[in-house]
Structure 1
């Protein structure tokens, strides 16, 4: 039985060494080859003296080196930190500095973009760069040592991996924080192995499955495409897609049996023509509610494909799923708890809600993360003792209090009601209003700004910014250009509203985002 997240690669390599593990473009990587690359990466880290639990960040698009670097870091006893490839240099530097990353794995082009900000990452000792590193490294660049990927071809021997157990850290996934600064969710090996086993169980995954990975690997939902596939010895096709039609073509070309996506992508895919003889056995949705009309369109386009509607949060990976047999009978439901998890609906005092009574979703079980990296205050807010424990238990079990309001019907099926915080969810990404506001303030073009989300049929929510500025000196185009320069595309406001009068305040003196949202929506 595998206890550490990288064990599944070696187990599959032992069972079926010549089975296909990864496909990237024209490259086909067997489990034997992948296990060799993971071993080589681990040996490199150990030879450089990285200690147990030290962080290794990976910042690149989906490719085989990305996967080998993450799982190689795990095999060495280190912690991998996948960084969203859409993030801009300042955002990447924040993550590298926040968790004291020792080694960064990236591409030559991305290293050149990061060079001006790496001085803000004093713990960074080395950068491992894919092909052409030395030729592409800016001349005169000081700071961490630059290593080439081919250094993995002859790893030094004699360095044994650090001993790790399943409750040790395995990865840190960064997600937007309510105060603006991203927060790192710390996952143990147990969290990731239990999550992979649970999902592979209810999806009925086998070694014959072929998954198309279109979501970022820095997203827990995207990363789970790898962990579930490796657990069962299945194959993953890595895709950095351009248009939805490319996904349909890839499903046909690679005989894909499983596809995961977020609601905006499913909305686009539902509008396309799918071949009648599609190989898709199942599709999954998470990262937001899929509109009922989209579900119906997908059922019509893919009549022989099982649809799994799911709910998850990075702090507990995955919480619920709705079996395909219930999709038509229970529109809008997020289902029941996944295997090896319990999902409770509770009142503010922690007592259980009655049927159809709205309450906070609380998740308990093996998937509950270890908290937020170096942030005891925010950890204490979200990770609290599970409800209903015997007071004689001296060490309380910790659960994730999601902040999401749900209701449970008389048959135990859950329905999402809303969020209790100000986070915005766009295309599956959780976005902090404060982080976008900080960029607009830093432009020097506004005196006040408030950012919030409004309902959007395609994105789930769209970002709106209301700013106070002199209309004779500032226009929307200038503010939009600044956002595009400093923020990834999914964080750029869909609408910028300029005002000349001060923004409204609530009784606590804070800008009243709810009033602004209501005013905007009612005209």
Structure 2
């Protein structure tokens, strides 16, 4: 287990954590050691510097898990630029929104992806670069001496209303988050971590950073089937696998060679709660692996984890605060909730992000002064999630106040889906609701009023959304109605529809 080092430094200091000749990254190109990792980041930073972008300019990447996608989060901040990773599953409409909202000056992508973009998708002052150019590199730049509080990345995450919003993360946010996770997961330089989660997610990106903080090896993987994951675990001797509940369901349904199952020493979960049934199944399939259930917010990276030795006795708990975080349970009046009394989860400390990019209103709603009894003080993230702290000191999740849909580990804004549904005119009104689904966690259901024949509208709508929305946002089913219920304000009564669908 690495020493907990709470000193904030620039994020590109991470390669210094590993032994120079130890493998840091193993991908489709081959293996690269820590000395090579540092050299490649330095040359990539030099290539970016030669573009002469102004300090603080945003550099977006729309890539699968290539070497450039893995190293750009270190190279861009080294030059004083801000990295904006874009989920590779997103399609051009969503990419266009992120490029415009972030004010990106450069989009790093691949020729085949660039070819899908149409006029107006890329802002006129945003250049497109092909990743091979950056990998060729330029004059090597030394490690950054940036202020640890300087902005290093903007990660876009969906809200319950409106389009995705950009969470602003500093060098210190990213580096201290990596050190915290590496510490409580007890990662070592002998660990091999399989990166199956998108690098545009804080959870996926941290797999790189926390592994490098411990001096271990990351193996990024773009996979199509659970069998691809199993083969990679066996081929690379993977010790650590992170996932979301739907992935665990799929992996448990597949056949595991004994050598692959026994190589895993650590399983980590976020993006949805593990059920007791799923915990038992993971224990049975991977008896030699420690299981780490976790709860997190992009706005504060990660908030809690449940230690492996507590999982069997407390499968319903989300645990306690991770290192370098303070997690409070707060009443509506701002005072501390009593044991077993529901309250809002409030996260304080150095992992709290800097707010939402160019969105003062939503920043003021979520990022507010910490409660008076906080030991950290300063600005805290008020999650909107209701939890209780038991007499045993463990936190348990009660409910989510917003209307986010969590499907296959993805956070989906119902408003964004509704806007896409209504854009083609097949439906006059539409509401998107998440319903419980054994495999996905939640599935997207559309309740709508058609313009004309409902059957023809659904056929046309399905065809259009297959072009306009990524796979994880596709509605699982449609319910067509002659009228949608209204509340006292004349708005569509989402709560009533949710109850009806759940009944």
Residues 509 and 231 of structure 1: CA distance in aligned 2, closer, same or farther (over 3 Å): same
| Structure 1 residue aligned with 2:502 | 521
1:504 and 2:466 correspond: no
Question: In 2, distance between residues paired with 1:411 and 1:496?
Answer: 44
Matches within 5 A, 1:320-359: 320-359=304-343
Query: How far apart are 1:2 and its partner, in Å?
Result: 6.6
1:251-293 C-alpha deviation (Å, 9 max, x unpaired)? 1110001000001001111223333342111010000101211
Answer whether contact 1:384 1:400 (CA < 8 A) is retained: yes
Question: In 2, distance between residues paired with 1:178 and 1:330?
Answer: 30
| Structure 2 residue aligned with 1:127 | 128
SS at match of 2:117: helix
| Structure 2 residue aligned with 1:46 | 49
Residues 162 and 325 of structure 1: CA distance in aligned 2, closer, same or farther (over 3 Å): closer
Answer whether contact 1:263 1:427 (CA < 8 A) is retained: yes
Residues 478 and 156 of structure 1: CA distance in aligned 2, closer, same or farther (over 3 Å): same
SS at match of 2:427: coil
Answer whether contact 1:273 1:301 (CA < 8 A) is retained: no
Query: How far apart are 1:163 and its partner, in Å?
Result: 4.6
| Structure 2 residue aligned with 1:98 | 101
1:127-178 C-alpha deviation (Å, 9 max, x unpaired)? 22034xxxxxxxxxxxxxxxx34652xx247x77875111111110001123
1:266 and 2:248 correspond: yes
Question: In 2, distance between residues paired with 1:164 and 1:60?
Answer: 26
Question: In 2, distance between residues paired with 1:335 and 1:39?
Answer: 39
Residues 161 and 23 of structure 1: CA distance in aligned 2, closer, same or farther (over 3 Å): closer
TM-score (norm 1): 0.91
| Structure 2 residue aligned with 1:135 | none
Structure 2 counterpart of 1:182, from 159, 164, 172? 164
Structure 2 counterpart of 1:219, from 188, 201, 223? 201
1:420 and 2:401 correspond: yes
Query: How far apart are 1:118 and its partner, in Å?
Result: 3.9
1:68 and 2:64 correspond: no
Of residues 448-457 and 232-241 in structure 1, the stretch that sits farther from structure 2 once superposed is 448-457
Question: In 2, distance between residues paired with 1:93 and 1:75?
Answer: 26
Structure 2 counterpart of 1:443, from 418, 424, 448? 424
Q: Which runs of 5+ in 1 are unaligned?
A: 132-147
| Structure 2 residue aligned with 1:7 | 13
1:53-109 C-alpha deviation (Å, 9 max, x unpaired)? 211111110011212222110111111111000011111111111111111111111
Question: In 1, distance between residues paired with 2:367 and 2:360?
Answer: 10
Q: Which runs of 5+ in 2 are unaligned?
A: 1-6
Answer whether contact 1:77 1:161 (CA < 8 A) is retained: no
1:77 and 2:80 correspond: yes
1:303 and 2:304 correspond: no
1:478-517 C-alpha deviation (Å, 9 max, x unpaired)? 22222221111111111111112x2111122211112112
Question: In 1, distance between residues paired with 2:418 and 2:316?
Answer: 32
| Structure 1 residue aligned with 2:389 | 408
1:458 and 2:439 correspond: yes
Query: How far apart are 1:18 and its partner, in Å?
Result: 2.2
Query: How far apart are 1:518 and its partner, in Å?
Result: 1.7
SS at match of 1:251: helix
Question: In 1, distance between residues paired with 2:180 and 2:395?
Answer: 19
Question: In 2, distance between residues paired with 1:472 and 1:245?
Answer: 39
Aligned residues: 494
| Structure 2 residue aligned with 1:362 | 346
Structure 1 counterpart of 2:369, from 385, 392, 403? 385
Answer whether contact 1:46 1:160 (CA < 8 A) is retained: no
| Structure 2 residue aligned with 1:89 | 92
| Structure 1 residue aligned with 2:3 | none
Structure 1 vs Structure 2 CA RMSD: 1.9
Answer whether contact 2:295 2:318 (CA < 8 A) is retained: yes
1:285 and 2:273 correspond: no
1:486 and 2:471 correspond: no
Question: In 1, distance between residues paired with 2:191 and 2:276?
Answer: 27
| Structure 2 residue aligned with 1:134 | none
Deviating above 6 A after TM superposition, structure 1's stretches of 4 or more consecutive aligned residues are 159-162
Residues 253 and 150 of structure 1: CA distance in aligned 2, closer, same or farther (over 3 Å): closer
1:111 and 2:114 correspond: yes
Question: In 2, distance between residues paired with 1:175 and 1:472?
Answer: 33
SS at match of 1:199: helix
SS at match of 1:113: coil
